[in-house]
A and B are shown apart, each in its own frame.
Chain A
Amino acid sequence: MGKRSTTGWITLRGSSGYPTIEQAESDWFDCAGANYAQVEVLLAQLSGATLTVLGAEKNNQYFVNNLTATDLSSTVHTLYLNRKVPPGDSDRLNDVLKWVVTGNSNWEACFQVVVNLK
């Protein structure tokens, strides 16, 4: 059984004056040392907002998109990330994962990100 981490349910609202909220660096998911990860993104609300899950290697901090969600057409997204996939690919498991939410005027998001390392 691998290590399981979750953000818990997060509700965010933003406005034109504050278009982007990013997970605090101290809360980024540490995936270093793992070869595989199952990432579940659960959406309860996504209105006028885009939720992105990104990964990066610890030594370069260049983030690559693993998932982008813009609406509730799917409320559960499951990703299977693999360390053996070449860098830059959306299926690559990098050292750290984080979430970012962006939106325009009066956007809203309620979500949870769960990471299972294997």
Chain B
Amino acid sequence: MATAQFTSMVAAGGTAASTAAQSKPKEWQRWTTVGGSVTATKIYQDSSLWLDLSNTVAVRITAHISYVGGSAEITLQTSNSPDGPWTDVTSGDLDAVGKTVLAVSSESDNEPYPGRRYLRWMASGGAANWEICFRLMYEVM
């Protein structure tokens, strides 16, 4: 991974000066539609948009999903290094039309959704010709 990509990641949290803005949800992933023609296809978020959780303990992720076809789902993944290994932080719960809220914490591996330094999404499908349309918001807790 290039250094430029590494430094352009979205920093969640930040300095004390930005604390006031932390409670307002921010758009993490604009509305997008992704899909695949076979179940083996997996699509990962662009690395320039991965969340860097180094300045915060926990974030609240809100997923808005408008369409799901072919048993598609969004999985959040976390890693201590941009090179991986990446671990799923949800159990593939982001697969239903509507709004879903998840908490991701880096404080303890015992949290329901433990998070490490970096956070990204992965889209996959359980059937041929899968497709999902969604956007993601994040909020520092």
Contact = CB atoms under 8 A, between A and B. Distances in A.
Q: What secondary structure prevails in chain A residues at the interface with B?
A: strand
Given A12-B133, A14-B67, A26 B31 contact: no
Interface string B109-136: 0000000000000000000000101010
Contacts of A10: 31
B33 interface: yes
| Contact-residue bracket for chain A | 10 to 19
Given A12-B133, A13-B131, A26-B27, A18 B33 contact: no
A30 B69 CA distance: 35
A11 interface: yes
Interface string B63-106: 01111110000000000000000000000000001100000000
Contacts of A78: none
Contact of B133 (A14, A24, A26): A14
Give the one of B31, B32, B66, B97 with max A CB within 10 A.
B66
Interface in A4-63: 10-15, 17-18, 21, 24, 26-27
B30 A18 contact: no
Interface residues of B, number: 16
A114 B14 CA distance: 33
Contact of B66 (A14, A24, A26, A27): A14
A13 B27 contact: no
Interface of B: 27, 30-33, 64-69, 97-98, 131, 133, 135
Interface of A: 10-15, 17-18, 21, 24, 26-27, 106
Q: Which 9 A-B pairs have the closest CB atoms?
A: A18-B66, A13-B67, A17-B97, A13-B133, A14-B66, A11-B33, A15-B67, A18-B97, A24-B27
27 contacts: A10-B31, A11-B32, A11-B33, A11-B133, A12-B31, A12-B33, A12-B66, A12-B133, A13-B33, A13-B66, A13-B67, A13-B131, A13-B133, A14-B66, A14-B133, A15-B66, A15-B67, A15-B68, A15-B97, A17-B98, A18-B65, A18-B97, A21-B31, A21-B66, A24-B27, A24-B30, A26-B27
